Structure 1
Amino acid sequence: MKCPFCGHLEDRVVDSRESREGDSIRRRRECLRCERRFTSYERIDEIPYMVIKKDGRREPFDRNKVMAGLLRACEKRPIPAAKLEAIVNAVEKYVQESPERERPTSKIGEMIMRRLKELDKVAYVRFASVYLEFQDVSEFMHELKNLVRTRSGERASSRR
């Protein structure tokens, strides 16, 4: 904590007390340079992290929604729960690292699709079919052909 008197960044906590309402903690601090005392207050960060939907609406980030979408895409697939948890954690970290406290769902969806594509192609296609909102079978087939093309390209390069 920066000393309000001399600007030094190191201090020690002399006393801590919870407020009567229980919504903050009052700390008495002593600057290690000028030895003057000052008070700081610690409060819970109540501003939620937001996502910006495709239609422009904003809503609070919900990691349970991300996990539910992944579970639907990975249903009956041999994917360990720990891998899905890692994807959700990465998404949550991405949202929390935003300086504006919000991220577009388009970027979140792309991030999930990249990870699923590496993890399980069937789960990737399932997730992509919902996320990319395929309008007809031709769009779905186009994505499958791209997937097959990249997969056969990977096999050819691994044989060399």
Structure 2
Amino acid sequence: MQCPYCNADDTKVIDSRLAAEGAQVRRRRQCNQCQERFTTFEVVEVVMPRIIKSNGRIEPYDSQKLKRSIQLPLQKRPVTLDEQEAMISRIEKRIRQLGEREISSKGLGEVVMSELKELDDVAYVRFASVYRDFQDIEAFRQELQNIRPVDEQ
């Protein structure tokens, strides 16, 4: 690792520990030439599958696009930003675990809906109403019955 102070290539690690809930390794380093200390973070580079749109076009995965798509149905809902970030992480993990190089936008939408359903029923219905493109009130009613527990019907 190159020293950011003197650009020497000879540095040594003097301390390592996990950071960001185990997703990163924080390393304290010292330059053998100028003796300055600095911190580096090591993270795994994850390659996400590409998204196959309904028209057949293929796009790279965009985490910001996913984030925007769930922020709208979650507006004015009692869901914290931390909960939203955790949900995005779960969605991305589930997609990676598929082990595919490409995933359909429909498949991604289904994963998002299942996570929203667990997090907030209202946000789920909001997302589903756009995603599933309900054409009439009966289709909407049917979706509501699918999420309502049997004893409430």
Matched, 1:119 2:119: yes
Name the residue aligned to 1:152: 150
Deviations 1:95-144 (A, max 9, x none): 44554422112221111111111111100100111111112222112111
Name the residue aligned to 1:70: 70
Q: For 2:60 and 2:102, locate their aligned partners in 1 and report how far apart those are by CA, in whole Å.
A: 9
- C-alpha RMSD of the superposition: 2.6
Name the residue aligned to 2:134: 134
Structure 2's unaligned 5+ residue stretches are 3-44
Name the residue aligned to 2:91: 91
Q: If you compute each CA radius of gyration, which structure gives the higher value, 1 or 2?
A: 1
Residue identity over aligned pairs, in percent, reads 39
Change (3 A) 1:121 1:48: closer
Q: For 1:71 and 1:61, locate their aligned partners in 2 and report how far apart those are by CA, in whole Å.
A: 17
- Scaled by the length of structure 1, what TM-score is found? 0.59
Structure 1's unaligned 5+ residue stretches are 1-15, 18-44, 156-160
Q: For 2:119 and 2:141, locate their aligned partners in 1 and report how far apart those are by CA, in whole Å.
A: 20
Q: For 1:81 and 1:98, locate their aligned partners in 2 and report how far apart those are by CA, in whole Å.
A: 26
**Partner letter of residue 73 of structure 1?**
P
Deviations 1:10-53 (A, max 9, x none): xxxxxx89xxxxxxxxxxxxxxxxxxxxxxxxxxx8x8741012
- Scaled by the length of structure 2, what TM-score is found? 0.61
Structure 1 position 93, deviation (Å) = 2.9
- Tell me if structure 2 keeps the 8 A contact 1:95–1:101: no
Matched, 1:80 2:76: no
Name the residue aligned to 2:143: 143
**Partner letter of residue 64 of structure 1?**
Q
Change (3 A) 1:76 1:59: same
**Number of residue pairs matched?**
110
- Tell me if structure 1 keeps the 8 A contact 2:48–2:96: no
Q: For 1:126 and 1:53, locate their aligned partners in 2 and report how far apart those are by CA, in whole Å.
A: 21
Q: For 1:101 and 1:93, locate their aligned partners in 2 and report how far apart those are by CA, in whole Å.
A: 14
